[in-house]
Structure 1
């Protein structure tokens, strides 16, 4: 799995109906959407972060893409006249940037599986054990500032 900046593929609908499709041949890299301030996952190889639901996850921002590569040959050939589709099942958190959401301007506080609710209270915090500290020091090294405060 590779994390990198892509931009924003052009949305289109060949028949004028939903769902829209995305044209990866026409990508805009300059759309200035708001971004949360904080420590994001560094670009590059991140496969090990996808192996377990262990609160060590990819933190990605606007215009970024996580590319997964695998061999479809392991599934054997598709029957004649059929197309094969893949469904990606994830264990993930999505943080809203809505004005009325908790902490809409910052990556932190980070969510974690054993939290009672989000936002969690002062009696809870993201795990601070050796594994999580190493994860943050090794992967979450891409500091992104808030362009509205700089």
Structure 2
């Protein structure tokens, strides 16, 4: 848990990144010191964004709203330039993280799960030997 900010930064997971990917509609800044120190300030910053989002969501007839929402949800995760770079970065970090987890398990006397000493993906043979293709 203490490394969560480091991992988030390495993954490139920021509000701006997920906004570019279309997962969220807007990034609302926090008041100085954070929302936990100034909840009223957070409400003042959030209120206009919520009003705008609700007004946008209520535009059109019910079927139009449903179609717009469905299209938006289906587009999340579709490749575009920003998401391709983001996913490459995640792959690199997760590969490093898998190796770190395997090393940590070995130091504690445990064994990493099937999939290799460095936390790589398991093959069908190591995970489910009965499902392995015959070699005869």
Normalising by the smaller structure, the TM-score range is under 0.3
Larger strand fraction of residues? 1
The structure that has the greater radius of gyration is: 2
Tell me the TM-score normalised to structure 2 length: 0.22
Larger helix fraction of residues? 2
RCO comparison, higher one (Cα < 8 Å, 6+): 1
